């Protein structure tokens, strides 16, 4: 008696040969130390911890510089020019880190799209050859597929044209 985990003659099925690399492997090879640093900074800048740290920092800065701890503690009097300059510089650097991370994500999306395309082509070639081996007409199957795709697109177009 054979089970689903066993192949012919009770032996285990051979492991499939995976010819497509995993996108994370390809992406990891391209990632340098600077990319890692940019990702860490962007991840922190997009967190609530970042917001809380800045709220505390701004509140502390303002409290000290309006003179609540005495005039001797004031180092950036109202309108807080130094604070404004520091925050502006921080915004410049953070926007740069965000753009670096977005560029990396775009590169990753390109790798993923390329691998998906390769997998689709591989599947189509295998399906066509299996269909031929089973005596199916690939041209007729393609005509049926195109008709279904056209129907589906028409239905989507009709649904999107309806007023809400």
pLDDT digits (tens, 9 = 90+) for 2-13: 445 666 677 776
- Region of 112 (left: φ > 0; alpha: ψ -120 to 50; beta: rest) is alpha
Residue spans of the domains in the chain: they are 30-157
Are the CB atoms for 83 and 58 separated by under 8 Å?
yes
Is 85 a residue whose pLDDT tops 80? yes
- Per-residue pLDDT, averaged over 50-79, amounts to 95
Chain segment 92-141, per-residue pLDDT in tens: 999 998 898 888 889 888 888 888 898 898 898 888 889 889 999 888 98
Q: Which residue has the higher pLDDT, 2 or 85?
A: 85
Is 1 a residue whose pLDDT tops 50? no
DSSP 75: S
Per-residue pLDDT at 11: 75
Q: Is the pTM of this model over 0.75?
A: no
Task: Say how many Å lie between the first and final Cα of the chain, rounded.
Answer: 59
List, in sequence order, every residue forming a beta bridge with 6; answer none if it has no partner: 12
């Amino acid at each position: 008696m054979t089970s689903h985990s066993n192949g012919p003659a009770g032996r285990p099925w051979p492991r499939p040969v995976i010819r497509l690399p995993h996108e994370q492997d390809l992406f990891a090879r391209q990632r340098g130390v600077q990319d890692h640093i940019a990702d860490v900074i962007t991840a922190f800048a997009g967190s609530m911890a970042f917001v809380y740290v800045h709220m505390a920092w701004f509140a502390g800065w303002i409290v000290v510089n309006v003179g609540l701890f005495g005039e001797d503690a004031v180092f950036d009097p109202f309108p807080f020019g130094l604070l404004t300059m520091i925050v502006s510089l921080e915004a410049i650097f953070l926007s740069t880190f965000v753009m670096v991370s977005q560029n990396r994500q775009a590169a990753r999306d390109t790798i993923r799209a390329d691998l998906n395309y390769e997998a689709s082509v591989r599947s189509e070639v295998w399906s066509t050859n299996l269909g031929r081996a089973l005596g199916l007409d690939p041209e007729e199957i393609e005509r049926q597929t195109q008709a279904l795709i056209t129907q589906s697109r028409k239905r989507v177009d009709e649904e999107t044209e309806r007023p809400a």
